Amino acid sequence: MDPRDLIFDWNTANGEGAPGARRPVILNDETLRDGLQSPSVTDPEPADKIRLLHLMDALGIGSADIGLPGAGARAKADALLLASEIVGARLSIAPNCAARTMIRDIEPIVEISERAGIPIEAATFIGSSPIRQYAEGWDVDVLLKHTEEAVTYAIGKGLPVMYVTEDTTRAAPETIRRLYTTAIECGARRVCLSDTVGHATPDGARALVAFVRGVIADTGEDVAVDWHGHRDRGLGVANALAAFEAGADRLHGTAVGIGERVGNTEMDLLLVNLRLMGAIDNDLTRLAEYCELASRACGVPIPCNYPVVGSDAFRTGTGVHAAAIIKAERKGDRGLADHVYSGVPAHLFGRTQEIEVGPMSGESNVLHWLAKRGHAAPPEVVARILSAAKSSKRTLTAEEIEGLRHD
């Protein structure tokens, strides 16, 4: 039996279906650029960056920001390495590089594109909100001048351009209109709305995307819309999905949400939710490998309760929960066991349900734990293990249970 036949899905109860199921979506991975702006991360070694790039490609992520080569020699060398790897390994993922709206930032992207032999999208960015303008001493005419010069130069050098406004979610409508119209008139065929400081709510994300869609329509050009979010209010994934529902074509994120301050929208959780919504059909069985490599290479631990890839994501020691999972497993139905006490089916993401023994466990936990390891379960052994678990303040380790078996 399909477990979905046993679930009433309020997410689609209005009869319209999941919003993501209605059109395709592209993902842009910012792990190796914006993700590295966190003050706590370590810039990965080149070999780890290459491995991450391959995993992004394997997960079906459409594009990746491979660096800001204008930042210095190391950033430029790593961006060239990654662009060359895409060509040499024939990866499907498309590269882009960040640049301020300054010609000196765009020049190294032109060089890397020529040397690697692959088009590289120039993600030219500039601040747009009144508060940023006031702090910097800018006015809109200065922003327009930088926009026109940078986009025109990049297009003239044969680079596709994604024009990015920083802090778009706090920018005035007329400023957004003037900046995007200018960039589009100069040749930009992708614009990126940025929730740079994690200010937006889902309603705000929808309203902004709808407004920008109107600006684009007024130009008469075919221009794609990106959404780039941060999670200062914990709304990164919710905002990205709302932006997609409102018409964004490409969503940005980073592995396990690394990035400045509290980080960016979590790419892994975007993949999970888009898969469950039916917007993508990507093979995500290597998702944990991608997250674990990013965690190790960047020096950012994954919390035990992190969704899907955290150590506790599909692990329980609670008697009631474990009993339901065990009964489902006994029916010989992996899907049933995956759904009965989980909103996320573990097998889609290369994981399995795990039952532990701890203070909240029942006898079924102990019997299951022993049976999974091929051990006999004499009543006195089961009672000894359960008694120890009930008097413990935490889940028993495998070593402790093995010791109790032989006491």
Per-residue confidence at 15, pLDDT binned at 50, 70, 90? low
pLDDT tens digit string along 114-167?
999 999 999 999 999 999 999 999 999 999 999 999 999 999 999 999 999 999
Does 304 fall in a domain? no
The amino acid at residue 74 is R
Q: 202, exposed or middle or buried, with CB in 10 Å at 0-12, 13-18, 19+?
A: middle
203-238 burial code (b ≥16 CB/10 A, e <16):
ebbbebbebbeebbeeeeeebebbbbbbbbeebbbb
d(CA 53, CA 50): 5
Is 170 within 8 Å of 135 (Cβ atoms)? Answer: no
Per-residue confidence at 331, pLDDT binned at 50, 70, 90? confident
| Residues 234 and 382 reside in one and the same domain | no
Range of the domain at 352: 315-406
Q: What pLDDT shows up at residue 334?
A: 79
Q: 1, exposed or middle or buried, with CB in 10 Å at 0-12, 13-18, 19+?
A: exposed
- Boundary residue ending a domain (298, 332, 359): 298
| Residues 293 and 343 reside in one and the same domain | no
Q: What pLDDT shows up at residue 333?
A: 78
Does 14 fall in a domain? no
- Boundary residue ending a domain (298, 329, 352): 298
The amino acid at residue 166 is E
Whole-angstrom Cα Rg for the chain:
25
Is 272 within 8 Å of 249 (Cβ atoms)? Answer: no
The amino acid at residue 190 is R
- Boundary residue ending a domain (249, 266, 298): 298
pLDDT higher at 313 or 7: 313
Does 383 fall in a domain? yes
| Residues 221 and 326 reside in one and the same domain | no
Does 16 fall in a domain? no
Number of domains in the chain: 2
| Residues 33 and 122 reside in one and the same domain | yes
Instruction: Say whether pLDDT at 312 is over 70.
Output: yes
Per-residue confidence at 17, pLDDT binned at 50, 70, 90? low
Between CA 275 and CA 283, with CA 281 as vertex, the angle to 5 degrees is 95
User: Which region, left, alpha or beta, applies to residue 350 given φ > 0 means left and ψ of -120 to 50 means alpha?
Assistant: left
Q: What pLDDT shows up at residue 328?
A: 85
| Residues 29 and 161 reside in one and the same domain | yes
CATH of the domain at 246: 3.20.20.70
Does 214 fall in a domain? yes
Does 9 fall in a domain? no
pLDDT tens digit string along 183-202?
999 999 999 999 999 999 99
d(CA 211, CA 44): 38
Q: What pLDDT shows up at residue 8?
A: 86
Calculate mean pLDDT across residues 331-354.
Answer: 89
Q: What pLDDT shows up at residue 16?
A: 62
Does 15 fall in a domain? no
How high is the mean pLDDT of the chain?
Answer: 94
3-state secondary structure the chain: CCHHHHCCCHHHCCCCCCHHHHCCCEEEECCCCHHHHCCCCCCCCHHHHHHHHHHHHHCCCCEEECCCHHHCHHHHHHHHHHHHHHHHCCCCCEEEEEEECCHHHHHHHHHHHHHHCCCCEEEEEEECCHHHHHHHCCCHHHHHHHHHHHHHHHHHCCCCEEEEEECHHHCCHHHHHHHHHHHHHCCCCEEEEEECCCCCCHHHHHHHHHHHHHHHHHHCCCCEEEEEEECCCCCHHHHHHHHHHHCCCEEEEEHHHCCCCCCECEHHHHHHHHHHHCCCCCCCCCHHHHHHHHHHHHCCCCCCCCCCCCCCCCEECCHHHHHHHHHHHHCCCHHHHHHCCCCCCHHHHCCCCEECCCCCCCHHHHHHHHHHCCCCCCHHHHHHHHHHHHCCCCCCCHHHHHHHHHC
